[in-house]
Amino acid sequence: MRFDHVGGVVCLGETMVMMVPAEPGPVHLVRTWHRAVGGAESNVAVHLARLGVRSSWVSAVGDDSFGLAVLDAVGGFGVDVSRVRVDPDRPTGLYVKEASPHGSPVRYYRRGSAASGMGPEMVDRLGLGSGEVALVHLSGITAALSDSCLEMMRELLRRPRHGFRVSFDLNWRPALWTDRDPRVLRELADSADVVLAGADEAELVWGTGDPARLRQLLPGPASLVVKQGAEGATLLEGGESYFEPALEVEVVEPVGAGDAFAAGFLAATLAGEAPPVRLRAGHLQAASALLTAEDVGDPLPDDVTVPLLHADPRTWASARLEV
């Protein structure tokens, strides 16, 4: 499943270093840790690169070893990281996954991070006047990082869009909003061209996960995608509603599936595919993430994805993907 020559995509948002225990036992006794990186927007950029889309990730990292690790990891997937700002004063954000038998709580250490220092001046780093950017991708996470990050998003969304669109993924993270007003998320979403939201998170933030009611709340976007978990996803566009059931997948780890879905859907959208194909591209890319413990898994082979993209409804509904 490839979507070459569809125009460039810029993904704007924070990516942090992630520390995961490399041995069992209580976290306070763990001596060995595995270092990785994680960030919703850079995940989307990586998935897009895997799909053949020219993608770049724009953010800020600290002038430290963690910042270099983030740049090396994201750039290693073929994502352009040349527009990332290296901040000489603020550190790279960090989060720790505290694995336990009762779940894996995450502790964030991102207050005062380099990315939280981003402001409206970052919009000039996106290359919007170059004619090479077809889409800018944002998420609600960035709006919660600082007042300056929120103003950066507002500045981008109020600029004239000559030749590019803006997509917005809700990406609700309640821990980031304890001292901030999440009502701004509706303002930001309604100013975008493409909005993606999980029905469960939309219920928490906007009081409903129903696609028709969400469309009433968000009349502005040309395209509204509501992800309904294992059931499927609904696209509301041009006065029409399209639903595609999700694939049956042997789930290894659900983390990262939403970012993967966004990348698949956006790539197919830029390619001008029909609504059902765009939703299926999202489901197929999400499956590649569900089938691995990593945020970004190996792409599914073309002999699996290409026939399924255009399969009849019965064949699509009966498909099952396994490790």
Position 108 scores a pLDDT of 87
Position 100 scores a pLDDT of 54
CA atoms within 13 Å, Cβ hemisphere of 234: 16
Task: State pTM to two decimals.
Answer: 0.94
Nearest alpha carbon to residue 185 among 200, 199, 198, 202:
202
In angstroms, the Cα distances linking 319 to 38, 293, 314 are 30, 22, 9
Q: What string of pLDDT tens digits covers the 323 residues of the chain?
A: 899 888 999 999 999 999 988 888 777 888 999 998 999 999 999 999 999 999 999 999 999 999 999 999 999 999 999 999 999 999 999 988 776 555 567 788 999 999 999 999 999 999 998 889 999 999 999 999 999 999 999 999 999 999 999 999 999 999 899 999 999 999 999 999 999 999 999 999 999 999 999 999 999 999 999 999 989 999 999 999 999 999 988 887 677 789 999 999 999 999 999 999 999 999 999 998 888 766 677 778 888 899 999 999 999 999 988 86
In a domain, residue 294? The reply is yes
17 has which bridge partners?
37, 94
Nearest alpha carbon to residue 16 among 82, 124, 125, 106:
106
Work out whether the CA dihedral 235, 295, 12, 83 comes out positive or negative.
negative
Name the catalytic one among 259, 295, 302, 303. Answer: 259
In a domain, residue 92? The reply is yes
CA 280, chain centre distance (Å) = 17
> Could you list the residue range(s) of the whole structural domain that residue 32 is in?
8-321
| Angle value at C-alpha 226, between 221 and 230, nearest 5 degrees | 165
219: tokens are 């009349």
In a domain, residue 253? The reply is yes
Look up 4 and say whether it is catalytic. no
In a domain, residue 102? The reply is yes
In a domain, residue 1? The reply is no
CA 6, chain centre distance (Å) = 19
Nearest alpha carbon to residue 38 among 94, 111, 85, 113:
94
Position 103 scores a pLDDT of 55
Q: What is the CATH number of the domain that holds 165?
A: 3.40.1190.20
In a domain, residue 20? The reply is yes
What residue has token string 């990332």? 84
Domain count, the chain: 1
Position 185 scores a pLDDT of 98
Rg of the chain over all Cα atoms, to the nearest angstrom: 19
What residue has token string 């990586």? 46
- SS3 string, 175-221, reads HHHCCCCCCHHHHHHHCCCEEEEEHHHHHHHHCCCCHHHHHHHCCCC
Position 20 scores a pLDDT of 84
In a domain, residue 288? The reply is yes
In a domain, residue 3? The reply is no
